[in-house]
Structure 1
């Protein structure tokens, strides 16, 4: 084909391909630097298990120091031990993310401990599996407060530190229920739909501060939360496998790569997106 060059996404005749930079074997400096999180500090709410732990492991493997935020202190201690084995600093901060004062104290603790915050992962979540006509107001509020309002509070209070970092990253965890409805996940679906719109609003508001805000939409992942759903919803396991092109349930470590991408300079021109990580579940007709 000879000489090609690319303009506005189209390939045209022009510059010789030989003139383009050639990546030589062993020359990984450019690629690795784009995903390098050494010197960065990440907060992961709900980082002591499930998808949160999978993301925390990925961030730690890329060099980030981690603050694990959760209410279960024993699980958080185990997560911190796991992360420290990866050669990074890690602390556990016992926090009720639905309590604004507790979140403020957590942010202060992280800044005092590490001196900065570069990445915030709003992952804390829960579900109460009831159809809408059976759900009580206090149950609705509990799910909304944990899944949606906590993301607002954590992001709002972390914003000054994220801005000061010069290249802050916020990763909000939505769900396939951000796209689909489910009769047994009324409040959960509402909260996760809200996460996507909140992500878009923050992406617009904070772009001038060089803060990128994105959402991850997990599919059916093998966690404690979904094991409960499988026990309650007859035939769910088989239906998920039948609809998922990948032919399996997801694993928490499937979220390591996407977390590193969205936390790193590699995603500096990506903001306001909601990225499914679902083995193709959401694109199956």
Structure 2
């Protein structure tokens, strides 16, 4: 029954890009998308975390493209998106899960910190 629902929604085989996939947990966006039969392109700044995530998804039978990317670097991000489009032919969904934060008074933050966060 579950396969019929996925097919009816047209999700199987769609391509999702997920940024900031830093944890190997069932609740993470990449696991949810994998359960819906998406093909995944993942980027994260920590190589070791990326490798663990990819292995776990491969074990589920998910087609995965992954790169170590600092999403605050425009050139790296552009290259990742371009490589993903070449790998899969298209991108259907984007999950922006990457982010940073600073615990301080926002009125005292330097402008470059505001733009980075």
Consecutive unaligned residues in structure 2, runs of 5 or more? none
How is 1:1-285 mapped onto 2 (pairs within 5 angstroms)?
A: 29=4, 31-49=5-23, 54-143=28-117
**Unaligned runs of at least 5 residues, structure 1:** 1-25, 144-285
Aligned pairs, number: 116
Q: Give the direction of change, closer, same or farther, for the CA distance of 1:132–1:75 in structure 2 (3 Å limit).
A: same
Taking the aligned partners of 1:102 and 1:28, their CA distance within structure 2 comes to: 36
The answer to whether the 8 A contact 2:6-2:12 is kept is no
CA deviations on 1:68-124 (whole Å, 9 max, x unpaired) are 111111111111111112211112111121222212211121122222211111121
Equivalent-residue separation in structure 2 for 1:109 and 1:69 (angstroms): 11
Q: 2:61 and 2:79 mapped to 1: Cα distance?
A: 26
The secondary structure found in structure 2 opposite 1:96 is coil
The structure having more radius of gyration, on CA atoms, is: 1
- Name the Cα RMSD after superposition: 2.4
Relative contact order (C-alpha < 8 Å, sep 6+): which is higher? Answer: 2
Contact kept, 8 Å, 2:15 with 2:91, in 1: the verdict is yes
TM-score, normalised relative to structure 2: 0.83
User: Alpha carbons of 1:135 and 1:63: their partners in 2 closer, same or farther (altered >3 Å)?
Assistant: same
Higher helix proportion (structure 1 or 2) = 1
Q: 2:53, 2:111 → 1: CA distance?
A: 34
Q: Secondary structure at the match of 2:28?
A: helix
On the 8 A contact 1:48/1:68 being kept in 2, the answer is no
Say if 1:36 and 1:63, in contact at 8 Å, map to a contact too.
Answer: no
1:34 Cα shift?
4.0
Distance verdict in 2 for CA 1:55–1:34, change over 3 Å? farther
Tell me how far 1:138 sits from its aligned partner: 3.0
